Structure 1
Amino acid sequence: MNFLQFFIWGSWLISLGGYMGASLHFEGGQIGKIFATMGIASLFMPGLLGIIADRWINAERLLGVCHLLGAALLWYASTLTTYQPMYWIMLLNMMVYMPTLALTNAVSYNALEKFHLDIVKDFPPIRVWGTVGFICAMWAVDLSGIARSPMQLYVGAAAALLLGIYAFTLPACPPTKSQKKTLLSAFGLDALVLFKQKKMAIFFLFSMLLGAALQITNTFGGSFLDSFKSIPQYEHSFGVEHPNILLSISQMSETLFILAIPFFLKRFGIKQVMLMSMFAWVLRFGLFGIGNPGNGLILLILSMIVYGMAFDFFNISGSLFVEKETTPSIRASAQGLFMIMTNGLGAIIGGNASGWVVDYFTTDHVTDWPAAWFVFAGYALAIGIIFALVFKYKHNPREFEQEA
C-alpha cells in the first residue's frame, strides 16, 4: 500500500513541470499555479475526508474510492494540452490524492493494532517503502524515456487504479462512533490558540515560509535540468538524459537523514536543527545556481544530498517539536495546523511566487536559471537569519530522549 501510494506521486511530481514547460510550453507562472493546487487541496480536503472516515465510511474503502477517482483524473489530464483545463483537472486530482496521505497512515495504524504489533517500532520500516516507491516511479519514468511526455500520467493512473482496487482488500478500518471530531479540530483550527504563544506563532510562521521553499524544486527542478538540452556541450550528459534519476538522489538522501534526526534533536535542539534546515536550503538552491550537468555535476549531486537535511530537519523535526510543545487535548489539531501551514499555505505561496520569479527571469522562452536559483537561495538565507534572531528557545537535551 505504501509503495503504491508514493509510486503514484513519484510518477509525475518531479517530471510534470518539465513536461508542461518543454512539451506544452506553459509559462513558469502557469506551472507554479498548477503545483500550488497541492496547497489548496491540503487546506481542507484531508480534514474533510478525515471526518467522513471517522464517522461514516471505512478508511480503507474511502482510500480506494479516492484512488479510483484519481486514476480517472490522471488519465484525463494526460489528454490535455492547454493550461486552464489542466489546472482544474490537477486541482481535482489533488483534492482526492492529498487526503490519502493521512488515510494510508490511518489504515496502517489500524492494521498494526489489529495484529498486536508495535506501531512505533513496526511502522517506520513499512513507511520507508513509500520512499522506495517514489524513487522507483521516478526511475521507471526516466528510463522509459517518458519524463517529458503525457505517458507519465498514464503510469500514475495505472498505479492509482491498482491501489484503488487493492485498498478494498485491506483489513477493515471502520469509523469510531465514539470519536466525535469537530470541524475545528479536523482542520486544525482549535489549535489556533497556540498563536497566543509568541514562540509557537513564530514557529508556525517560519514553517509556512519553509513550506514555500519545498515547493520550488518540486516545481522547477525538472525544467531546470531540461534547459541544458539546448546547450550542445550538455545535451547528451547524464543529468540531461536522466533528470529523474539525478533528482531521485534527493529522496535517497531523505531516507538517510531521517535516521539522524533523533541524534541532532537531542544534541542541538529544535532551533539549531531548524537553522540547519534553512541553511541547507541555501545550499540546495545555491548549488543549483552554480552547477551544471557537465563539469559541475558534482555540485548538482551535492545539492541533491543536502536536500535530505533541508527537508527532514524541518518537516520531521517540526512535527516532533509540535508534539512536545502541545497538550494532548489539541495535539492532533496542532499537527493538522502544522500541515496546513507547510503543505497548504506554504505550498500555495511557493508555487505562485516561484512561478513569478521564473517568469521574471525568462525572455523569449529562455530562463536565466542561475539568477532564479540565487533569488531562491537569498530567500532561504534571509528567513534563516531572521529566524535565528527572533525565535527564542532554550534547548533541554533530555526533551527528545525518547525519540533518541
Structure 2
Amino acid sequence: MNIKFRLILMNFMQFFIWGAWLLTIGAYWFQNKQWSGAQFGAIFSTMGIASIFMPTITGIIADRFINAEKLYGIMHILGAMTLFSLPMVTNPNTFFWVILLNMMFYMPTLSLSITVAYSALKGQGIDVVKEYPPIRTWGTVGFIVALWTVSLTHNETSANQFYIASAISLALGIYSFSLPKCPPLLSQADSKSFSSKLGLNAFALFKTPRFAIFFAFSLLLGAALQLTNAYGDTYIHDFKSVPAYQDTIAVKYPAIIMSISQISETLFILAIPFFLRRFGIKYVMLFSMLAWVLRFGLFAFGDPTGGLWMIILSCIVYGMAFDFFNISGSLFVETQAAPEIRGSAQGLFMMMVNGFGAFFGSIISGAVIQKYFTLPNQEKNWHGIWLCFAAYALVIAVIFPFVFRYKHNTALKHAIQHA
C-alpha cells in the first residue's frame, strides 16, 4: 500500500478520536451528569497537565528503547480503554482522573505521529517539507468528520461519543503495528554522560539560542491557542442573552460557525510549503503571530448580525494562526535537531505548546478575565477580553523578529528548495 495513503489514514484516525468528544463533552457533562461548571473547568486543564511531561517522556523512550510506531500503537490501545470506561464513571472527581489518564495516553501520540510520519517518508526518500503538510491535512478532515458524525447521529449528549472514539482509537492502535519501522537511533552504547543515560539529550537544545527562543515562543503561542479553545465557543453562545441576536444563525448553530476554523486549517496546511519556500520559517511563524492578532481582534468587533463576517473571517484566519506555527514548528525541529533525538525534540515542542503554554494560558487568562472583565452580574465583557488577547499576541509578534535570529539558509531551506 502507498506510504502516503497509509500516513493519511493514520492522521485521519488520530484526529477523528479527538474530534469525536472534545467539543461535545460539555453537552454530555451538563445534560447527563449535571455536575458543576467549576468541576467541568478542570477537565480542560488535563490536556496541559499531561502535555507538560508525557510527550517528552515518550519521546525519550522512542529515541532509546522502543520503535516509535509500536509505542504509538500501545498509547492508542491504552487510550481506547480509558475512553471506553468514561461512561461508567459516576463521580466528577473520578471523571477528572480518568480524563487525565486518557490525555496522558493521547497527547504524546501527537508528537509520536509526527516522528513516525517523518521517519516513514524519509525512509522512502520523500521530501517531508513538500509532502507532509498535505498528509497532515487529513487529520483536520478526520476531526471535522468526527464532529459531524457525532452531531448528525444525535450523540452530542450521549455516552456513544466516547464509544465511537474508543473504537477508532483501538483500530488505530492495532493498525500502528503495521506501519514502517521507526527504531531508536540512540543506543545505550552511545550513552556516555549521565544525561545521555537518562535520555535527556534533547534538553541540551535549550543551550542553543535559536532553540531556546523558539521553545519560549512556542509556550507563548500555546497560551494563545488555549485562549481560543477555552473561550471561542462560549463567546458565541453568550450572544443568545441579547434579544436582537437570539434568532441568528450563529447563535443557533455556534458549533457549525466554529467548525469553519477546522475547515480553514485544511487549506492553510496545503499552503505551508509555498510560504516556507518563499519566506522561510522565521517569517512564516511571524505570520502566525499576526494571524492571532487578527483572530482575537475580529472577535472583539464581531457580532451575529452585521458583524457576522468578522466572526467568520476570524475563523478563517485561525487556520493560518494554528498551522503556520504548529506544522512549521515541527518541521523546524525535525530539520534542526539531531536525528538521534528527533522523538524527544518533538516531545519538547509539544510540551511547550500543549503543556506549559496551555496550562499557564488557562490559569492566567481565567484570573485576568475574572478580575478585569467580569461584570457584577457575572456577564463577560467580551469586547475587552478579545482586545486584551489581541494586544498580547501583538506584543509577541513585535518582539519575535528581533530576538529570533534565524536565516533562511540552512537544512530547512535546502529541503524547501527541492519541494
Q: TM-score, normalised by structure 1?
A: 0.82
Task: Tell me which amino acid in the other structure corresponds to 1:256.
Answer: L
Do residues 156 (structure 1) and 165 (structure 2) align? yes
CA distance in 2, matches of 1:290, 1:207: 27
1:1-20 map, 5 Å: 1-16=10-25
Distance 1:113 1:284, change over 3 A: closer
Q: Which moved more, 1:313-322 or 1:303-312?
A: 313-322
Distance in 1 between residues matched to 2:15 and 2:367, nearest whole Å:
29
Of residues 367-376 and 279-288 in structure 1, the stretch that sits farther from structure 2 once superposed is 367-376
Aligned counterpart in structure 2 of residue 379 of structure 1, from 392, 402, 412: 392
- Aligned pair in 2 of structure 1 residues 201, 172: CA closer, same or farther (>3 Å)? closer
SS of the residue corresponding to residue 366 of structure 1 reads coil
Residues 116-127 of structure 1 correspond to what in structure 2 (within 5 A)?
Answer: 118=126, 120=128, 124-127=133-136
Q: How does 1:94-113 map to 2 (within 5 A)?
A: 94-105=103-114
Contact 2:115–2:343 (8 Å) recurs in 1: no
- Aligned equivalent of 1:256: 267
Which residue of structure 1 lines up, in the alignment, with residue 416 of structure 2?
403
Contact 1:224–1:369 (CA under 8 A) maintained in structure 2: yes
RMSD: 3.7
- CA distance in structure 2 between the aligned counterparts of 1:57 and 1:271, rounded to whole angstroms: 34
CA distance in 2, matches of 1:275, 1:54: 31
Does the 8 Å CA contact 2:16/2:139 hold for their aligned counterparts? yes
**Cα shift readout 1:245-281 (whole Å, capped 9, x = no counterpart):** 2222212222222232233334333333222211211
SS of the residue 2:22 aligns to: coil
Question: Contact 1:211–1:350 (CA<8 Å) still a contact in 2?
Answer: yes
1:216 aligns with 2:227: yes
Q: CA deviation at 1:139?
A: 1.9
What CA distance in whole angstroms lies between the structure 2 residues aligned with 1:127 and 1:184?
33
What is the total number of aligned residue pairs between the two structures?
Answer: 401
Shift of 1:137: 1.2
Equivalent residue in structure 1 for 2:299, among 285, 288, 306: 288
Aligned to 2:7: none
d(CA) in 2 for partners of 1:119 and 1:102?
Answer: 19
Q: Which amino acid aligns with 1:288?
A: F
Between 125-134 and 319-328, the greater mean CA deviation after superposition: 319-328
- Say if 1:229 and 1:240, in contact at 8 Å, map to a contact too: yes
Q: Quote the offset at 1:228 in angstroms.
A: 2.9
Note if contact 1:14-1:219 (Cα within 8 Å) is conserved in structure 2: no
Unaligned runs of 5+ in 2: 1-9
Identity of aligned residues (%): 54
Change (3 A) 1:161 1:190: closer
Structure 2 counterpart of 1:375, one-letter code: C
**Counterpart for residue 258 of structure 2:** 247
The offset of 1:95, in angstroms, is 0.6
CA distance in 1, matches of 2:210, 2:186: 34
1:139 is aligned to 2:152:
no
Paired position in structure 1 for 2:43: 34
CA distance in 1, matches of 2:12, 2:81: 20
Amino acid at match of 2:137: V
- C-alpha distance 321-109 of structure 1, shift in aligned 2 (>3 A): closer
Q: Take 1:151 and 1:94, find their aligned partners in 2: how far apart are those partners? A: 19
Quick one: distance in 1 between partners of 2:157 and 2:106?
Answer: 22
Is the 2:226–2:358 Cα contact (8 Å) retained in structure 1?
Answer: yes
- TM-score of the pair, normalised by structure 2: 0.79
Q: Matched residues in 2 for 1:321 and 1:199: separation?
A: 11
